[in-house]
Amino acid sequence: MDIEDEATKTTVLSKMRSEINRNTGLPAYNFASGISLLLFYAFAMQCMSTIAAVKRETGSWKWTLIQVGFMTGLAYFSALIAYQLLK
Protein backbone atom coordinates (compact mmCIF):
# COMPACT_ATOMS: atom_id res chain seq x y z
CA MET A 1 0.00 0.00 0.00
CA ASP A 2 1.55 3.32 -0.96
CA ILE A 3 1.23 6.67 0.79
CA GLU A 4 -1.45 7.96 -1.58
CA ASP A 5 -3.74 4.98 -0.86
CA GLU A 6 -3.27 5.47 2.89
CA ALA A 7 -4.20 9.16 2.62
CA THR A 8 -7.30 8.35 0.59
CA LYS A 9 -8.34 5.65 3.07
CA THR A 10 -7.95 8.05 5.97
CA THR A 11 -9.96 10.71 4.16
CA VAL A 12 -12.83 8.34 3.32
CA LEU A 13 -12.85 6.97 6.85
CA SER A 14 -12.93 10.44 8.37
CA LYS A 15 -15.74 11.48 6.01
CA MET A 16 -17.79 8.43 6.98
CA ARG A 17 -17.22 9.10 10.69
CA SER A 18 -18.31 12.72 10.31
CA GLU A 19 -21.49 11.92 8.30
CA ILE A 20 -24.59 12.76 10.34
CA ASN A 21 -28.16 11.54 9.80
CA ARG A 22 -30.30 14.67 9.29
CA ASN A 23 -33.37 13.15 10.95
CA THR A 24 -31.79 11.85 14.14
CA GLY A 25 -28.60 13.86 14.50
CA LEU A 26 -26.72 10.60 15.15
CA PRO A 27 -23.86 9.24 13.06
CA ALA A 28 -25.10 7.85 9.75
CA TYR A 29 -22.72 4.88 9.75
CA ASN A 30 -22.65 2.67 12.80
CA PHE A 31 -22.26 -1.02 13.60
CA ALA A 32 -25.91 -1.82 12.84
CA SER A 33 -25.91 -0.10 9.45
CA GLY A 34 -22.59 -1.75 8.54
CA ILE A 35 -23.81 -5.25 9.34
CA SER A 36 -27.12 -4.69 7.55
CA LEU A 37 -25.31 -3.45 4.43
CA LEU A 38 -22.99 -6.47 4.51
CA LEU A 39 -25.96 -8.83 4.74
CA PHE A 40 -27.81 -7.08 1.93
CA TYR A 41 -24.82 -7.24 -0.41
CA ALA A 42 -24.15 -10.87 0.52
CA PHE A 43 -27.67 -12.05 -0.39
CA ALA A 44 -28.76 -9.71 -3.20
CA MET A 45 -28.19 -10.85 -6.78
CA GLN A 46 -26.20 -7.93 -8.09
CA CYS A 47 -24.14 -9.68 -10.72
CA MET A 48 -25.66 -9.48 -14.18
CA SER A 49 -23.59 -12.46 -15.33
CA THR A 50 -25.22 -14.60 -12.61
CA ILE A 51 -28.66 -13.53 -13.78
CA ALA A 52 -27.67 -14.27 -17.37
CA ALA A 53 -26.37 -17.71 -16.39
CA VAL A 54 -29.62 -18.55 -14.58
CA LYS A 55 -31.59 -17.44 -17.65
CA ARG A 56 -29.41 -19.55 -19.92
CA GLU A 57 -29.51 -22.63 -17.69
CA THR A 58 -33.25 -22.55 -17.03
CA GLY A 59 -34.19 -21.28 -20.47
CA SER A 60 -36.90 -19.19 -18.88
CA TRP A 61 -37.34 -15.65 -17.62
CA LYS A 62 -39.92 -16.96 -15.16
CA TRP A 63 -37.42 -18.77 -12.90
CA THR A 64 -34.84 -16.07 -13.38
CA LEU A 65 -37.21 -13.37 -12.15
CA ILE A 66 -38.45 -15.59 -9.31
CA GLN A 67 -34.86 -16.09 -8.16
CA VAL A 68 -34.02 -12.38 -8.43
CA GLY A 69 -37.19 -11.46 -6.52
CA PHE A 70 -36.60 -14.07 -3.82
CA MET A 71 -32.94 -13.14 -3.32
CA THR A 72 -33.75 -9.42 -3.20
CA GLY A 73 -36.49 -10.04 -0.65
CA LEU A 74 -34.20 -12.26 1.42
CA ALA A 75 -31.47 -9.62 1.30
CA TYR A 76 -33.86 -6.84 2.31
CA PHE A 77 -35.49 -8.68 5.19
CA SER A 78 -32.22 -10.07 6.57
CA ALA A 79 -30.74 -6.55 6.51
CA LEU A 80 -33.88 -5.13 8.11
CA ILE A 81 -33.94 -7.69 10.91
CA ALA A 82 -30.21 -7.30 11.58
CA TYR A 83 -30.51 -3.52 11.72
CA GLN A 84 -33.51 -3.63 14.04
CA LEU A 85 -31.81 -6.10 16.38
CA LEU A 86 -28.48 -4.24 16.48
CA LYS A 87 -29.55 -0.61 16.68
Residue 86 clears pLDDT 80, i.e. is over it:
yes
Give the pLDDT confidence of 15-33 residue by residue, as tens digits. Answer: 888 899 899 888 989 999 9
> What count of other Cβ atoms lies within 10 Å of the Cβ of residue 75?
19
Which of 13-17, 20-24, 35-39, 67-71 is predicted least confidently?
A: 13-17
Distance CA 56, CA 77 (A): 28
DSSP class of residue 24? T
Average pLDDT of the chain, as a whole number? 90
The pLDDT tens digits for 39-55 are: 999 999 889 999 999 99
Task: Give me Rg for the CA atoms of the chain.
Answer: 18
Q: Is the pLDDT of residue 1 over 60?
A: no
Encoded amino acid at 3, one letter: I
